[in-house]
């Protein structure tokens, strides 16, 4: 696998951290034509957290799944795509949180098509945040000439979480609906639908049983074991909620 550490001239040579103490954007080829981009942010209660997104490339055309966590890293990612001479078709965000949508405003300002589900755009509108330019009403929709497909399995991490399927490479981008194998819990659950989370993952598991790689919203890439692990975590969390209180 090839890993690219994106550092521009306004960073100290040899430094892997920006001036705000946040590591630079990392781009890693995880499969032919599929690149993992990893950005970082400091989150209260969790510390420094990394977030996964994807760039899928086919026949010189590129598409972003989930923006990096800042305008700065979104710009870096787009510049990297341009340096590779790929034609950027746009981006899609898998839910409304900033680790998926922080770059939408910058992409819109630079005339790069942005996509989100109707539910995600509705939430962004209520929060007075930048909306994706194109709203997807169809919850089982192909985008960019079939380069990616979306599927809405129901609520879990959030009410609006979707997953993205890369049909040519059989890679499933699970977003924050899917937890890494190292995760001991569900992470941030302030907007979660814990009672439905396991059922939603079960739908994803049935639909994409032949996935070669599964990419969680945070943590290491794996295979379909990530789906089983996430279901176990979700069921455990739900059972704790259901326990009677004294």
Domains of the chain listed by start with CATH number: 3-242 (3.60.15.10)
Residue 13: predicted pLDDT: 29
22-25 long-range contacts, Cβ below 8 Å, gap at least 24? 22/48, 22/70, 23/48, 23/50, 24/73, 24/76, 25/68, 25/73, 25/76, 25/77
Residue 244: predicted pLDDT: 58
Q: Alpha-carbon distance 180 to 77, whole Å? A: 24
User: pLDDT tens track of the chain, all 246 residues?
Assistant: 565 555 332 332 233 555 468 899 999 999 999 999 999 999 888 899 999 999 999 999 999 999 999 999 999 999 999 999 999 999 999 999 999 999 999 999 999 999 999 999 999 999 999 999 999 988 787 888 899 999 999 999 999 999 999 999 999 999 999 999 999 999 999 999 999 999 999 999 999 999 999 999 999 999 999 999 999 999 999 999 876 555
Q: Alpha-carbon distance 20 to 163, whole Å? A: 32
Q: Alpha-carbon distance 96 to 31, whole Å? A: 27
Q: Using one digit for the tens of pLDDT, what is the confidence trace for 175-204?
A: 999 999 999 999 999 999 999 999 999 999
Residue 229: half-sphere exposure toward Cβ, Cα within 13 Å: 18
- Write the DSSP string, 191-246: T--HHHHHHHHHHHHHHTTT-SEEEESSS--B-THHHHHHHHHHHHHHHHHHSPP-
Phi/psi at 231 (5° precision) = -60, -40
Taking a C-beta distance cutoff of 8 angstroms, is the pair 23, 68 a contact?
A: no
Q: Alpha-carbon distance 222 to 178, whole Å? A: 11
- How large is the angle between the packed helices 194-207 and 225-242, nearest 10 degrees? 160
Q: Alpha-carbon distance 74 to 40, whole Å? A: 12
Q: Using one digit for the tens of pLDDT, what is the confidence trace for 71-81?
A: 999 999 999 99
Residue 3: predicted pLDDT: 59
Residue 150: half-sphere exposure toward Cβ, Cα within 13 Å: 26
Helix, strand, coil share of the chain (percent; to 5):
25, 30, 45
State the Rg of the chain over Cα.
Answer: 17
- Write the DSSP string, 124-180: HHHTT-PPPSEEE--SS-EETTTTEEEE----SSSTT--EEEETTTTEEEEETTS--
Residue 199: predicted pLDDT: 98
Rounded to two decimals, the pTM is 0.91
Q: Alpha-carbon distance 137 to 116, whole Å? A: 9
């Amino acid at each position: 696998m090839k890993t690219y550490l994106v550092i521009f001239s306004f960073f100290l040579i040899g430094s892997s951290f920006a001036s705000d103490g946040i590591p630079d954007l990392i781009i890693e080829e995880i499969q032919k034509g599929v690149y993992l981009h990893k950005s970082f942010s400091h989150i209260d209660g969790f510390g420094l957290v990394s977030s996964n997104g994807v760039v899928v490339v086919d026949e010189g055309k590129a598409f972003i799944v989930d923006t990096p966590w800042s305008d700065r890293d979104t710009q870096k990612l787009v510049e990297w795509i341009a340096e590779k001479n790929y034609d950027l078709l746009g981006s899609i965000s898998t839910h409304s949180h900033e680790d998926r949508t922080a770059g939408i405003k910058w992409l819109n300002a630079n005339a790069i098509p942005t996509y989100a589900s109707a539910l995600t755009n509705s939430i962004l509108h209520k929060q007075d945040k930048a909306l994706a330019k194109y709203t997807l009403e169809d919850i089982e929709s192909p985008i960019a000439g079939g380069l990616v497909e979306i599927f809405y399995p129901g609520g879990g991490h959030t009410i609006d979480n979707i997953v993205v399927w890369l049909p040519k490479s059989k890679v499933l981008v699970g977003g924050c609906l899917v937890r890494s194998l190292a995760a001991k819990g569900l992470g941030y659950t302030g907007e979660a639908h814990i009672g439905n989370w396991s059922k939603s993952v079960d739908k994803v598991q049935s639909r994409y049983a032949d996935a070669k790689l599964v990419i969680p919203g945070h943590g290491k890439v794996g295979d379909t074991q990530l789906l089983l692990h996430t279901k176990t975590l979700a069921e455990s969390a739900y059972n704790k909620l259901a326990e009677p209180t004294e």
